[in-house]
A and B are shown apart, each in its own frame.
Chain A
Amino acid sequence: MAPLLEIKSLSTHFFTDDGLVKAVDRISYDIHEGETVGLVGESGCGKSVSALSLLRLIPNPPGKIVGGKIFFEGRDLLKLTEDEMCEVRGNKMAMIFQEPMNSLNPVRTIGWQISEPLEIHLGMSREEGLKKCVQLLTDVKIPEPATRVNAYPHLFSGGMRQRTMIAMGLGCNPRLIIADEPTTALDVTTQAQLLELMKNLTRDYQTALLIITHNLGIVARYADRINVMYAGRIIEKGTAVDIFKNPRHPYTEGLMASVPRLDYDIKKKLVPIEGQPPDFLNMPKGCSFHPRCVYVFDRCRVETPELIPIFENHEAACWRNVK
């Protein structure tokens, strides 16, 4: 069965006054119907940019998708016209943003904003839309949905706003929801609630979910497969179980080691990854991670590794895996 989403060698570059930034450099991965995929990496590694590229929401200037293909439901999104793309957005593929306060229109009611995609794509009238809206708000567990529909975003708490965004995303029953750092702006308890909610909803609606985050804990629990991103490239891919049990890239290893875990000995020290994330304007030669790598050897400094299959469904871009 063909994957719902197939990204092939996608590249998005930013042409700034200070130089060329290859925010996304030839990444490839798939997402299948109904599955949850995690895209993990630290801040600034390009994961959000890659997500925006899927919906072709990259601001131009200064950014531009310069290469690759994005096959969604069999069509290459990069070849669609803008109008055709508008039909996909919010309808077949929806995105949930972080910072829900800024991502919601302050002068429009919640009801208006949630029912908007319903009106645009499903042709509903305002009344029909608002009715569906109440149902959606109930799904995302917002209390008193019938009154909330007429409220303005600034009256909501952070968690409620994020739930609103989820409701907005679910409205047209999309095949894929992209959640960009959905819980970063929230406290831990709310985070857990929201993630459970999203997991249940995607299961109930049969929606595929792409979770973009820097938080390993989230992907460990909720994702089926994981892609690890570093400096604009995917450097490891595999099932969640594989990646956690047996990370094959030093960066992924480093990420695991720097996360505190309840099942570790309390005296065991947290090991941070040495060094700084690379400057996109001044990338290291060879493997982009090599300046920070504890296993570095000569080949790493010279040749940039591509993703190398190690086990079935587990690849890593590291010369250590090549004997």
Chain B
Amino acid sequence: MAGVGSACLTIALLTALYAAGASVYGAVARRREWVISGRRAIYCMAGLCLVAFALLEAAFLRTDLSLKLVAEGSSTDTPTFYKVTALWATQDGSLLLWATLMSLFASAALFLTRRSLREIAPWAAAVLGCVAAFFLFLMVGWENPFDTLAVAPAEGAGLNPLLRHPAMMIHPPMLYTGYVGFSIPFAFAVGALIERRTGADWIRATRRFALIAWTFLGTGILLGALWSYTELGWGGYWAWDPVENASLMPWLVGTAFIHSIMVQEKRGMLRVWNVSLVCATFALALLGTFLVRSGILDSIHAFGASTIGVQFLVFICSVVALSAALVLWRLPDLRSEARLDSFASREAFFILNNLVLVGLCLVILWGTFFPLISEALTGEEASVGPPWFDRLTTPIALVLVLLTGVGPVLAWRRVTLAALGRVLVVPLAVALVALLGLLAFTDAADSVPALLMFCFVAFVLAVVAQEFWRGASARRVMTGEAWPRALARLTGRNRRRYGGYLVHAGIAVLFLGVAASSAFLEQRDVRLAPGESFSLDGYEITYRKATARLGGDSAGTGAPISFGAVMSVRRGDQRFTLRPSRNFYSSGDPSLGAISRFFEGEATSEVDVRWGLRKDLWLAVRPDVSALEKPIAEADAKFADSPGDVQALIIAALAERYRRDPPPAAFRAIASPLVAWIWIGGAIALLGALVAVWPSPEARLRRVRALYSARLGKELSRA
């Protein structure tokens, strides 16, 4: 079976190379049949990748320990749910997932453009074939996921406990879908440049892919943040870790791209900028994939030091160099059709938002690579911490949110001051009321950036609400529909526009949560014995008793031992119980004693959160197992060679001992205001993106009509 998988990958690599070659030849020699053959080779490659992926997934589900990948990343006692995800928790498996998703996206894009873009599509197929070939080449040459072990071990190492979280099941595929999705607009942009068809055709054909990629990438980033909040045990959702930054950068540039292409579609401007942006987005997506693998920057989320860093670096550099060369070569063909009429216009604000987004990305890029930069310049490896990122990104984020509100109300070409005043008066009034209300009734003034952000968010939400209201009331005047129907019809008929507004509202809500939770978070670390209590932000938190469970922890991660605490919380007349715990996983280290092995492996916090729209109470516990050290050492000596069930009894006795007579445990409690709105804002933005991406019935009707008239034309010309 491993042989079949390897063979699939090798054939897929050859197919990808053939697809690239055939497409280029077909495009240069204007031989249609070669182009079609190249496109079909991409479909074929996608099929082969899928087969390989399915084979590997089957191996993980069966826990086929003769495969190196399965033995290192999974085990028979890993819960089934996490056996499935273990595939992409490994280096080689994640490459296969990348290649599979990429080939599926490429097939879909080429299938949808099979009757249009005759000049551009073959080159796009060639580019996509080359990118896929690179990933397949990595797998065939260095990181073959189907490598077998000479002797299959009795048990695998198991999935890393930190990754046993539902958000981690879908986070990597989301992120990768986002990364690979941006390869489609990139490939078509390259085709457009080569063929000098630099109009908006390539944009119209791939804009939906860019939007889908953007949506997936954003969802992936948010899921990662949620995982960090609930699993990593430090209580934050964003740490400016290199790997987090790596996923954020292509998203920011991608955001700039999906805005600026509208300017090109509407006004024929910004052509150089758009092709540069899409190349940058794709290069950053590759960089994101690379950073997780290279080991060049210290991150807690990286794969182990790997053998493919150099190959990746060479590939990214050649992508950047070739795209830059291509853009420069075609510079004469990329002249704008129009000039900027006025700075008070939507296109001018789109340019501004682009500059801000790209600037933000550059700041993050600089901070992420600062350890390398500083080592090169001063010889000392130094890093900038989260405070640096916070200080620089906060003002940029404020400007960005403000632009989110201003952009939608501006007209294309030129807007008069009077018109601007008319649309802005209500939102400005709302922002002012919000400001006064916050100053009068809350302590929001303690943090000026947060206060500004709250007002800007109110402004954006008012703008969006006003746009919906204006559109719907116009419809009502014309059609006499009721409000809900008018709103639904309005959104349905102008999905891109109103979906976009929803995204803006969602992002504003998200920033509301970010600003409130970073400025007004309260945190305490305490050490408590059972019966003791402490207070935090009005919560009275009492450590009632200790818990100890063997097998089957509450989150179903398959941890053998789980020590926890029952905490009763009181706030006013509100009472509830939180049960944070800590999972202990056994270590595979043979030098440890038979019993201590169970306590010396990884340990992860299973935090308990009281979710609330106004405030989250987040609680983690760190049981002190050092009190058990002596009995554990004694047990190690006595029961070294005992059979497994005897050891299990010993562990049970130790757990019982901990439960009955627990030593003081360390707790971390965080009261985080409005943090839930980050996830709610994310969900609103996701909904908006779906509305914008979903094809409208009118558009489908138009396409069908166009197809029929084309066929009719053909019939007529034949007759």
Bind each other:
no
